[in-house]
Structure 1
């Protein structure tokens, strides 16, 4: 059985988070079960972009602080790293409040750079991941529970996409992002290359709606932990009330027969699961209902069955960040407005994810409102 532990944490009050983390890890043997003295332990946080903690975009600094202190108490050397979607690592760490925690605790902020090629063993034959991630003695995955416009939910498995360095992420979106099932398969193959020893989910304040950066904070008041990221994601989705048919990563994991994908093999400890469940998260716009359709129908109906990004003119300041972030280069700034090439657009919504001003909206395909009634 895969064990996923659940613990209440009503707020980010420092002593409360510290006690909650200790209780959370107790059924798993405590931090000492994962960290040995002298080991370099990488905390892979979610540092998507430079937003303050109350926006619920990044892993909360008090969760990072609590895990750092537990690692240090076990004798480990705590490192914190990620590859932000926009902005330099130091700037994002400062804006999110994590840099102050790193300085206060004596931990190290590590840049995800120097990509190292690793051979794949599935659909994709090679990956290049951050050297710091591959070289760490132990990895603790620290995702934020959020909705996601492309994958419906981002949590344990999706957080590991941050081990792909910088602009290489856009290349993977271009290679696999037009097919959400293929993209989910790619995420799982990255996870399998170097599984983290432990995952701790920040779901004290989660995000619902148009996540992972444009949604609304959602108070959940929980921390989750486990050794299998797929199993952690299955329980996180159950708590958030997200339907299985919309969980691309979990569906792909079941199709591959991965450990942790079968709900019958997962047991929870700590807070009983019925008490942990919350009213279902408000989900992102349904952006793709083409899965299962033959290719010739997908091509004909794509415009009607998918949502697409569009500008909010009064918010857009034409900074060009969305155009630079767009993997297929389907966005340009012309004559003081954004122009979208929807034939080239792969509907990955990287533009919305990285827009610093929330100046991009979603326009639904003509048939989506009708189809939503039957989903």
Structure 2
């Protein structure tokens, strides 16, 4: 049985937030249950864009700061990384106020670079993933709760698509096709390959409507954490009042037996029903899953992919 820790939390002020995160992780054994002295720990926030810094499009810097503090206190060596589809992690961090907090703690911010890894799934066995994520001793996934115009919601599983190096995201959009089920399968196999040790969901203020970047902030007052990213996503859709079948990543994970029914998830603190949100706005209309590119760019990406496919597969033990 998977354990999902859920907690009501209303503020990002550091002392209060730190207390909330400690209470959230306590039923899971605290940070020391995941991080051992000397571990290299990747903190993987959602760093989608630097273009709308007041619209809650990315994981709040305060969450990252407090989690980094906790990793340091457990003896770990945290670093932050992401691969935005457009722009750079450094640019997004700068525009969203990350840099002063990272500098205070002496935590490096890295741009992701790719290497090919064979996944456990049957469909996308040659995913080109960030070697920084695959070679970290511990991965802590730090997604943001957001609506999404292609996938209804973006939560923990979708956040791990950020471990695909930026330019290769376009290829995997094309490779998975326009079918939401196929794209969800690719996202799930990515999540299985990255195998995050811990996911902490930033739902204090979410992003509703035409997300992942075109919507508006929404006060939710929720923090969630679990070693099982699929179970955490399943719990969160219930909090938002969204049918699991409407969220391709959740529906597919349930079909594959990766995600338990709510009755089979242990909630040591609050339950989804106790934290339920009555008026969460989904996108006005769902858009097809596509990554439209001119033919010449598609050809370029295809040639790059063929060249990458000829590389030897990196060793992968599943963490």
User: What is the TM-score with the length of structure 2 in the denominator?
Assistant: 0.88
Distance 1:326 1:183 in 2: 12
Within-5 A mapping of 1:36-47: 36-47=36-47
1:328 corresponds in structure 2 to 293
Number of residue pairs the alignment of both structures matches:
296
Deviations 1:191-230 (A, max 9, x none): 1112100000000100110000001101011110000111
Which 5+ residue runs of structure 1 have no aligned equivalent?
Answer: 288-306, 310-324, 331-375
Partners of 1:128 and 1:236 in 2: CA distance: 29
Q: In the TM superposition, what are the counterparts of 1:1-375 in structure 2 within 5 Å?
A: 1-51=1-51, 53-113=53-113, 115-120=114-119, 121-258=121-258, 260-287=259-286, 307=287, 326-329=291-294
Q: Distance in 2 between matches of 1:35 and 1:44?
A: 15
Q: RMSD across aligned C-alpha pairs, in angstroms? A: 2.0
Partner residue of 1:359?
Answer: none
Structure 1 residue 326 displacement after superposition: 4.3
Q: Is the 8 A contact 1:117 1:126 kept in 2?
A: yes
Q: State how far apart, in whole Å, the 1-side matches of 2:29 and 2:46 are.
A: 25
Q: Distance in 2 between matches of 1:166 and 1:7?
A: 33
What secondary structure does 2:210 align onto? coil
| Aligned residue in 1 for 2:308 | none
Is the radius of gyration larger for structure 1 or structure 2? Answer: 1
Counterpart secondary structure, 2:4: strand
> Structure 1 CA distance, aligned partners of 2:236 and 2:128?
28
Deviation at 1:275, TM superposition (A): 2.2
Q: Is the 8 A contact 2:6 2:222 kept in 1?
A: yes
TM-score, scaled to structure 1:
0.76
- CA gap of 1:53–1:201, structure 2 versus 1, over 3 A, is farther
Q: Which runs of 5+ in 2 are unaligned?
A: 296-319
Q: Residues of 1 paired with 2:157 and 2:279: CA distance?
A: 21
Shift of 1:274: 2.4
Cα pair 1:38 1:75 within 8 Å, conserved: yes
Q: In the alignment, what sits opposite 2:310?
A: none
CA distance in 2, matches of 1:99, 1:270: 33
- How far off is 1:263 after superposition? 2.6
Q: Secondary structure at the match of 1:50?
A: coil
